[in-house]
Structure 1
């Protein structure tokens, strides 16, 4: 049972011996499948804290939530070989964690890289999914969005304190996120950083940036339509920030054409990726998962 933090820490071992971490919110209810949350490239399980509390404590449809820290992020071990920071290996780590928890089927929420991991898992283990929420990610990545991510990751600034961290990220992202309140910015920054020896540090292995920088910026990123179409029978919601440069509106239109059960949520005043605890997103996600449960039970 989760303690007063709202979650329990769960540690497990990867196939190559790393100690990996996930947060578990709520208690497993046999009537409802758990929700698995997968964060973005440099992010961690803390990104989902508010949403996970909402879902696990929902007054009518509470469900357990498992939020993963990939290797090299959050409370998981850093990998001594940065070449292992790949979507394929991270997908394998997620499967290892789910196996350790005895989970063979779940609902999934994937933000950015987490959604790409879902696409990989669609090929490796398609029966794993009961319903999926993709947060600002799809089979095609916008080149402007990738260039923007590359630019701020390759030229990081170490903040002097928490207020400076907020100011740094507002300077980079505020134009795409005019809808965020000061409290929203504070929660975002608190999830991204950790304190160490009196310094505020981004909570991921710095070597991770090198693996992203090593990719060829002028080379087209492979499209994942084949993997996406393996999910055609799975209830699917896509959340897109209206200012997103990574998930383009035309990509969402094509996703809708190829997936007859796709539900689309456009989030005004936010870019890549929308903050999932803001506005009515928690309610919309809970309602979508409840509908998926009901459709599954009646089929």
Structure 2
């Protein structure tokens, strides 16, 4: 059941808290929301406490009237605020894409709050091709009439990265990412995210993120990568493994950015991580 808490700047953020055991805080990607982690709840709620957050401006959470607050520092503060709200001193984080960047930032800013981290298709180097693809749709409605049309057309649209995904998987994907409106599928996030990313990009080059990843070295860590990802290259993943030889690593075949987290390789990586972290 969706619950809410209030941030120190007055926004009402949505979260879901299911299961029991080791706390696993799930943080979604730039335009995504807690629904992305439904497969994790279904598979792991019997052995972990699955906490899913809709970051500000996403899903059921309030949109921020100041789009500049859509940044990694503010969103990391919100994640810590949720842990405080729940009375949790520590948690593991399963971070998809932007959620993984938040997790790496917390390893520097709030290492005492982390038990460990699972990164889903994100690392310290963000490939330009992947970022360009994101900017191609960020802030724009998808153009599908409904979930069924999306399920019919997505396999061809996403064919260069995703193969062997069933129609039901694509329909679930569409349902998680978009909402149905009378005039077609609509965004489940604040379109002002595009303005936030553009303004951030205008300030200069991406900072060196390797120190953030290196801050994870004392912690149990796992990396899930889509084998066809255009955001996280195999070269970057190999360097991450080289720097952290004990890191659990799964390269998920027939998936791009980002794996659905229902794939056997992804499930195995999360399972192994939970065994190690607990």
- The TM-score normalised by the length of structure 2 is 0.93
- The 8 Å contact of residues 40 and 113 in structure 1, kept in 2 or not, is answered as yes
- Secondary structure of 2:100's counterpart equals helix
Question: Aligned pair count?
Answer: 278
- The 8 Å contact of residues 25 and 53 in structure 1, kept in 2 or not, is answered as no
Q: 1:208 to 1:218 in 2, by over 3 A?
A: closer
- The 8 Å contact of residues 132 and 235 in structure 1, kept in 2 or not, is answered as yes
- Secondary structure of 1:108's counterpart equals strand
Check if 1:46 corresponds to 2:39: no
- The TM-score normalised by the length of structure 1 is 0.87
Displacement, 1:87? 1.0
CA distance in 2, matches of 1:201, 1:268: 30
Alignment correspondent of 1:243: 228
Check if 1:79 corresponds to 2:64: yes
Unaligned runs of 5+ in 2: none
Check if 1:287 corresponds to 2:265: no
Displacement, 1:164? 2.6
1:25-61 deviation per Cα after TM superposition (whole angstroms, max 9, x unaligned): 113x4xxx2111010000000000121121103xxxx
Displacement, 1:250? 1.1
CA distance in 2, matches of 1:167, 1:40: 24
Q: 1:198 to 1:149 in 2, by over 3 A?
A: closer
1:234-279 deviation per Cα after TM superposition (whole angstroms, max 9, x unaligned): 1111111111111111111211222232121111111011110123
Out of 146, 158, 177, the position equivalent to 2:143 is 158
CA distance in 1, matches of 2:173, 2:236: 27
Q: 1:25 to 1:198 in 2, by over 3 A?
A: farther
Unaligned runs of 5+ in 1: 1-7, 294-299
